[in-house]
Structure 1
Amino acid sequence: MTQERPEERPEIRRELEEGIERDFAEQMSYGDYLCLDQLLSAQRPRSTPPQHDELLFIIQHQTSELWLKLMVHELRSARSLLAADDLAPALKRLARVKHIQRTLTEQWSVLATMTPSEYAEIRPFLATSSGFQSAQYREVEFLLGNKDAAMVDVFRHDPAARAELDVLLHEPSLYDEFLRYLARAGYAVPEELLERDWTQPYRMHPGLVDTIAEVYAAPHGHWGVYETCEELVDVEDNFQGWRFRHLQVVQRTIGHKSGTGGSSGVDFLRRALDLTFFPELFEVRTRVGS
Structure 2
Amino acid sequence: MTDHADAPQRAHTDFTEGFSYGSYLHLDTLLSAQHPLTDAHDERLFLLIHQVSELWLNLIVHELRAAMTLLDQGITDAPLKMLTRVVRAQEQLTQAWEVLKTMTPADYLQFRSAFGQASGFQSYQYRTVEFLLGNKNPVMLRPHAHRPDVHGPLAEVLAAPSLYDLTLRLLAARGLQVPEAVLHRDFTQPYTPNDEVLDAWLTVYRDTDRYWDLYELAEKLLDVEDNFRRWRFNHLTTVERTIGFKRGSGGTSGVGYLRQAVQIVLFPELWAVRTSL
Task: Please tell me the TM-score bracket, short chain as reference.
Answer: over 0.9
Equivalent of residue 40 in structure 1, options 1, 26, 31: 31
Q: Deviations over 1:40-87 (max 9, x none)?
A: 10000011xx11111100000000000000000000111111011110
- Which residue of 2 is the match for residue 87 of structure 1? 76
For residue 221 of structure 1, report the CA deviation from its aligned partner. Answer: 2.4
For residue 220 of structure 1, report the CA deviation from its aligned partner. Answer: 2.3
Where in structure 2 are the equivalents of 1:1-290 lying within 5 Å? 16-18=8-10, 20-47=11-38, 50-288=39-277
Aligned partners of 2:185 and 2:248: how far apart in 1? Answer: 35
Structure 1 range deviating more: 244-253 or 196-205 = 196-205
AA aligned opposite 2:128: E
Unaligned runs of 5+ in 2: 1-5
Aligned partners of 2:178 and 2:82: how far apart in 1? Answer: 24
Aligned partners of 2:85 and 2:137: how far apart in 1? Answer: 26
Aligned partners of 1:243 and 1:120: how far apart in 2? Answer: 23
AA aligned opposite 2:8: L
For residue 198 of structure 1, report the CA deviation from its aligned partner. Answer: 1.1
Aligned partners of 1:158 and 1:44: how far apart in 2? Answer: 22
Unaligned runs of 5+ in 1: 1-13
Tell me how large the CA RMSD over aligned residues is: 1.1
Q: Deviations over 1:69-108 (max 9, x none)?
A: 0000000111111011110001111111000111110111
- Count of residue correspondences: 272
AA aligned opposite 1:192: A
For residue 16 of structure 1, report the CA deviation from its aligned partner. Answer: 2.1
Secondary structure of 2:181 counterpart: helix
| Structure 2 contact 171–200 (Cα < 8 Å) conserved | no
For residue 240 of structure 1, report the CA deviation from its aligned partner. Answer: 0.5
Aligned partners of 1:134 and 1:188: how far apart in 2? Answer: 37
Aligned partners of 1:61 and 1:102: how far apart in 2? Answer: 15
For residue 15 of structure 1, report the CA deviation from its aligned partner. Answer: 5.1
Q: Deviations over 1:138-162 (max 9, x none)?
A: 0000000011111112101221111
Aligned partners of 1:162 and 1:274: how far apart in 2? Answer: 26
Q: Which runs of 4+ in 1 moved over 3 A?
A: none
For residue 218 of structure 1, report the CA deviation from its aligned partner. Answer: 2.3
Aligned partners of 2:31 and 2:131: how far apart in 1? Answer: 30
AA aligned opposite 2:71: L
Q: Deviations over 1:14-57 (max 9, x none)?
A: 95232x2112222211111111111110000011xx11111100
Aligned partners of 2:158 and 2:257: how far apart in 1? Answer: 22
Q: Deviations over 1:151-199 (max 9, x none)?
A: 1121012211111110101111111111111111221111111112111
What's the % identity of the aligned pairs? 50
**TM-score (norm. length: structure 2):** 0.96
| Structure 2 contact 137–189 (Cα < 8 Å) conserved | yes
**TM-score (norm. length: structure 1):** 0.92
